Amino acid sequence: MTTTFNRKNPCTAKLKQADLLTAGCTEKDTWHYEISLEGSGLEFLPGDSLALFSHNSPALADEILVALGFTGDEEVEDPDGATTDIRTALIETFAITAPDKKFLAAVNDKTSATTAFGDLLTPDRKKELAEWSWGREIIDVLLEYPDAKFTPEEFVGVLRKLQVRLYSIASSLKAHPDEVHLTVATVAYESFGRKRQGVCSTWLAERIDSETPLRCFITPGKGFRPPEPADATPIIMCGPGTGIAPFRAFLQERRATSAKGKAWLFFGEIHEATCFFYKHEWEQYLADGTLEKLTTAWSRDQQEKVYIQHKILEHAEELWQWLEQGAIFYICGDASRMAPDVDKALHTVVETAGGKSPEEAAAYIEQMHKDKRYRRDIY
């Protein structure tokens, strides 16, 4: 009998292997993680995501404790009613990075100073509040308004619960039984003069080892699936950066099941020499026919930046032929810039290679959506 794992009943797994995919690249760190599921019974399908319970940075938690004048030993209740010390709660249970409206309202009420955000807390100024909050963290607000005093219970009472992080799964169980693979970029940037770190990506990269229990469960990909093995429908996969993850799972599954239908992969990153994730796998798939075509874009290897939307336009005639053959078009990755840019390129392909007006192209792509031939996993 298969065990049902979920948020309230997570699976406990262990890290098996971690490999840096961007060795030699100074701009970013992207990692390939292999997590052992041995003995767990956890199952998933290509297109699913792994939900991970992570921990906050202990250094950030300690900085918050100092700002509040707490020792860290003060007892508080977590959201489930269990008693723990506040340091543990800040590391393991509560969200302590991005400030939300509830936290900001509490600071605004408790400080004698006029805050920069107090007038932005009304419902009609939601966008302005989001703009002010971008790049700021809870620690910034506490340091800027030190007279906003909280008891330990009051402070955790205005914090949200630390949420799971979702990562598209980069492997197939048929190819790697009892394992789940992830492709994760370590988030690191600077804002307002401070270095910031992604909660889960940094936890994975810096603070776990093979003995760390990894609590996780599967969130289904639903419509984001490859065709059945016997289905000869072509597929076109656009996965720049870590958006490549589900398509690695797709291709592993298709190879393991001898799937019919041709496959075309678009992949983009900043440098070919240091960021060509899974290059040797794609070469094997091209050699054995699992992958018919691979098109790459390296944004910073030349003076003018080149992205996958540019490559889509370069291959407009052939891509249109695939679409007319009933190909399913997949996108995975950044929702803010990449996905709209690829969508715009797709419209242009239908207009130019398909000889359609902008209105006809829009109707063609809308029909693709209705026929479930345009599938997106964007974030």
pLDDT above 60 (res 239): yes
pLDDT above 60 (res 100): yes
Predicted local confidence at residue 116, as pLDDT: 96
> Which pair of structure tokens corresponds to residue 57?
């940075």
Share of residues in the chain with pLDDT > 70 (%): 99
pTM, to two decimals? 0.96
Could you report the per-residue pLDDT of 37-81, keeping only the tens digit for each?
Answer: 999 999 999 999 999 999 999 999 999 999 999 999 999 999 989
* Average of per-residue pLDDT across 314-323: 98
On the 0-12 / 13-18 / 19+ scale of CB atoms within 10 A, 339 is buried
Tell me the pLDDT of the chain averaged across its residues. Answer: 97
* Average of per-residue pLDDT across 201-210: 98
Straight-line distance from the first to the last Cα atom of the chain, in angstroms, rounded to the nearest whole number:
34
* Average of per-residue pLDDT across 231-258: 98
Residue 164 to residue 141: CA distance in whole angstroms? 24
Check: CB of residue 97 under 8 Å from CB of residue 60: yes
Domains of the chain, earliest start first: 11-51+164-219 (2.40.30.10), 58-157 (1.20.990.10), 235-378 (3.40.50.80)
pLDDT above 80 (res 316): yes
Residue 4 banded pLDDT, cuts 50, 70, 90: confident
pLDDT above 70 (res 304): yes
* Average of per-residue pLDDT across 114-123: 96
Decide the pairing of beta strands 11-20 and 30-36. antiparallel
Check: CB of residue 158 under 8 Å from CB of residue 141: no
* Average of per-residue pLDDT across 349-378: 98
Region of residue 24 (phi > 0: left; psi between -120 and 50: alpha; otherwise: beta): left
Predicted local confidence at residue 27, as pLDDT: 96
Share of residues in the chain with pLDDT > 90 (%): 98
Full strand arrangement of the beta sheet holding 328-333: 293-298, 263-269, 235-238, 328-333, 374-378
* Average of per-residue pLDDT across 134-152: 97
Residue 3 banded pLDDT, cuts 50, 70, 90: low
Residue 166 banded pLDDT, cuts 50, 70, 90: very high
Predicted local confidence at residue 1, as pLDDT: 38
Residue 2 banded pLDDT, cuts 50, 70, 90: low
Predicted local confidence at residue 222, as pLDDT: 87
Could you report the per-residue pLDDT of 334-348, keeping only the tens digit for each?
Answer: 999 999 999 999 999
Check: CB of residue 182 under 8 Å from CB of residue 32: yes
